[in-house]
Amino acid sequence: MNQTRPSLRFAQTPNGLVVEAEGQFWPLTLPENIFQLDRKELFKTLLEATEGTPLEEEPELQNFLDPTQTPILGAGVTFSNSHRERRMEALRAGSMEEITDDGRPTPYDVVYDPANPPEVFFKAIRTGHLAAPNELWIRPDGGEDGAIGNSVPEPERVLIVNRQGEIIAETLGSDTTARQLESLSPLYLPAAKTYPGCTTLGPWLTVFAPELPQPEIIIRMEIHRNGESMYGDEYGSSQMKRTPESLVRHARTLAAEPDGTFEAGFALFTGTGIIPPIQFALEPGDIVTISSPQLGRLEATTRVVQFGF
């Protein structure tokens, strides 16, 4: 058995689970509820699968999580630039024009301060809230006179947490947000964050070797429109104001049980360190690529939700 791998990753396919290492793929069998496992047990199971016969072809991937069973939560305003931009959005009160910070306090100042609890919320609790890994959906409203408002992808590290509250795996994703709608009032946060297809996750779940130090997670985003680069930036997990464990602890207070148990675990977006400039807004057809040397890559095409009521 190879004991030197710093990480392994697994994903769902139409034909079952697979584990990947160094460009090779193996079939994987896990317990019905992997959220009963701790990280050490999960990593051992993945490692044992790599001793078998690898698959001959690269598999087609699909979403592993079902938010109906395993809810997806979010945390926000955990990076300094996110705090700065959220402050400005609150001061704009729905305007997408540049303004000067006049120093007035905003609700985002409170949740950015580690002395206070962080912002945590339910992002996706139904299957329809989770888009396919190659799709990114924006709201059709939120702008003036009911027009499509300013929406942006929020590329983030996503923690996969077991029923006991331990981080057992990680992935990346977009906490896509109707920021113009949220800018009007923080009370619009639920609508700005949660709607059909509001969540995009990378298909691979990475499990880091339990006996090795946690690596720095680097996340990069690029947005292309009609073949032209519109925006790109990157950040590292060490820039986060809070620890992953503290975010998990506060997220567990949203559980239905007072002991903080989510029977089928939960996923937790940890906030973004990338905020596109206020002049930028997603348009249908934009290609959003979120990548990480540690967590993989997703490439998603922007689409607009069409409410049928």
Sequence ranges of the domains in the chain:
72-304
pLDDT of residue 94: 76
Work out the average pLDDT over 124-128. 97
Percent with pLDDT over 70 in the chain: 99
CA–CA dist 136, 119 (Å, integer): 23
pLDDT at 4: 67
Q: What is the pLDDT of residue 189?
A: 95
Please give the Cα distance from 62 to 59 (Å, whole number). 10
Position 3 scores a pLDDT of 56
- pLDDT > 90 fraction of the chain, expressed in percent and rounded: 85
Beta-bridge partners for 8:
207
Token pair of 138, please? 């924006």
The predicted model gives 60-79 an average pLDDT of 97
Would you put residue 251 in left (φ > 0), alpha (ψ -120 to 50) or beta? alpha
pTM: 0.95
Residues 6+ apart with CB under 8 A from 239: 79, 80, 273
**Which of 3.20.20.10, 1.20.120.1770, 3.90.850.10, 1.10.3720.10 would CATH assign to domain 72-304?**
3.90.850.10
Q: What is the DSSP letter of 63?
A: -
pLDDT bin (cut points 50, 70, 90) of residue 47 is very high
Helix or strand run (H / E) with residue 8:
strand 7-13
> Is residue 176 over pLDDT 70?
yes
Backbone dihedral angles phi then psi of residue 94, each to the nearest 5 degrees: 100, -20
pLDDT tens-digit map of 244-287:
999 999 999 999 999 999 999 999 999 999 999 998 999 999 99
pLDDT score, position 137: 98
Query: Can you give the pLDDT at residue 277?
Result: 92
